[in-house]
Amino acid sequence: MQEPFVWDRYSDQPYPIKDKVYKKKMRQKHLWATFPLLFTTMLFFPLGVLFMPFFRGKKRDKNDFYGMGVEIDKGAVQQELIEELGVKHLLIRMPLWEMHRVEAYVAFAKSFGKDKHILLNILQDREHIDDRELLRRDIETIFEKFGSFVTEYQIGNAINRTKWGFFSMEEYLQWYETIQEIRDKKYPAIKLVGSSVIDFEYHYSVRTLFNFFRVRYDRFSSLLYVDRRGAPTNAQMGIFDTKHKIDFLYALVRLSWKTGKKIYITEVNWPLSNTAPYAPTSEKECVSELEYETYMRAYYSIAFQSGKIARIYWHQLIAAGYGLVDDRGGKIRKTAAFESYKRMIEDAHS
């Protein structure tokens, strides 16, 4: 990443932007985008709430429900751990600022075996948002390199956080539109997944679902964290616990003409206590490993029973501050959640 965007290698995400002058300038530049955001929210947010009790979920296949995030720089032990878990769906990040390593990412994705299904998450950076020709060139390279064995691509990540590069939903929709044009012309078999809004900030999801851009999501994705509320059964805004957040998201997707009806949750976890600087939040939001395991099982259960989520990708396999495995000090330590995740998959296969 280039300044003022800086990657935090501990929490595997960008640091908040420290250059306040740049941040203010960019927000002022995109201030106009607030108006369509407000308009669509005022119109479709109440409609989603109104219709959410009437849309029923579908019976889901447990064998297809579990996914896991893995990272290229977390070591070769991941292949062994994935085999132990028995998970078949993997999410792998492909940062656009690391195009010089694209061959290494291809090799990493292939290293898990032909029986794995990869969702490749294309991570944005400001250079590829500003330079449309650079974006076209590198997206074509990615589709060409991965296209023989990867069919699903998540386009962007946490698009409502400025530290990830976008300063409006209009920027994201234009960016997605460019990538979709390449897919439509040269790679029609590829499935595109969006719009990847993080947390319960559905006004951004609303804007990406109801607009007049030439975009369509083959699958809809959400980074549906509920960690700041503690247990998945805890509510936000009075009624929105995890179940009702899923109900509401499903209603919005069903009402939209911009997307297929499958929903993937492509990131979720809880931050772990006493793991700073690896935890992505303050200690106040962190939980014990026992609570983490309990909340994980509850989250999966709620989502599966709803019948409204096609798959959940846990974020992620190895991460000292929020993953299933702690690798501090060069040692691999499986948490209780790792063993619990393995049992959930075993139960799904039984």
Phi, psi at 64, each rounded to 5° = -105, 5
Q: What is the pLDDT of residue 35?
A: 98
Residue 88: the pLDDT is 98
Mean pLDDT of 91-116: 98
- Look at residue 350 in the predicted model and tell me its pLDDT: 84
Percent of the chain residues topping a pLDDT of 70: 100
Q: What is the pLDDT of residue 153?
A: 98
Mean pLDDT of the chain: 97
Q: Kindly list the structural domains of the chain, giving each domain's residue range(s) and its CATH number in brackets, ordered by start.
A: 7-349 (3.20.20.80)
pLDDT band per the 50, 70, 90 thresholds, residue 192: very high
167 pLDDT higher than 90: yes
Mean pLDDT of 127-142: 98
Q: pTM of this prediction?
A: 0.97
Q: What is the mean pLDDT of residues 41-68?
A: 96
Helix H, strand E, coil C: the string for the chain is CCCCCCEECCCCEECCCCCHHHHHHHHHHCHHHHHHHHHHHHHHHHHHHHHCCCCCCCCCCHHHCEEEEECHHHCCHHHHHHHHHCCCEEEEEEEHHHHHHHHHHHHHHHCCCCCCEEEEEEECCHHHHHCHHHHHHHHHHHHHHHCCCCCEEEECCCCCCHHHCCCCHHHHHHHHHHHHHHHHHHCCCCEEEEEEEECCCHHHHHHHHCCCCCCCECEEEEECCCHHHCCCCCCECCCECHHHHHHHHHHHHHHCCCECCCEEECCCCCCECCCCCCCCCCHHHCECHHHHHHHHHHHHHHHHHHCCCCEEEECCCECCCCCCEECHHHCCEECHHHHHHHHHHHHHHC
Banded model confidence at residue 339, pLDDT cuts 50, 70, 90: very high
What is the per-residue pLDDT across 5-38, written as a single tens digit (0 to 9) for each?
A: 999 999 999 999 999 999 999 999 999 999 999 9
**Mean per-residue pLDDT for 75-102?**
98
CA distance 105 to 167: 28
The per-residue pLDDT for 97 is: 98
Residue 161: the pLDDT is: 98
Please say if the pLDDT value at position 171 is more than 90.
yes
Quickly state the pLDDT bin for 129 (edges 50, 70, 90).
Answer: very high
Task: State residue 102's pLDDT score.
Answer: 98
Taking residues 285-302, what's their average pLDDT? 98
Instruction: Give per-residue pLDDT as tens, 233-273.
Output: 999 999 999 999 999 999 999 999 999 999 999 999 999 99
Confidence of residue 306 (pLDDT cuts 50, 70, 90): very high
Q: Which residue from 136, 222, 131, 126 is spatially nearest to 177, judged by alpha carbons?
A: 136
Q: Average pLDDT, stretch 138-156?
A: 98
Structure-token pair, residue 317? 């396999």
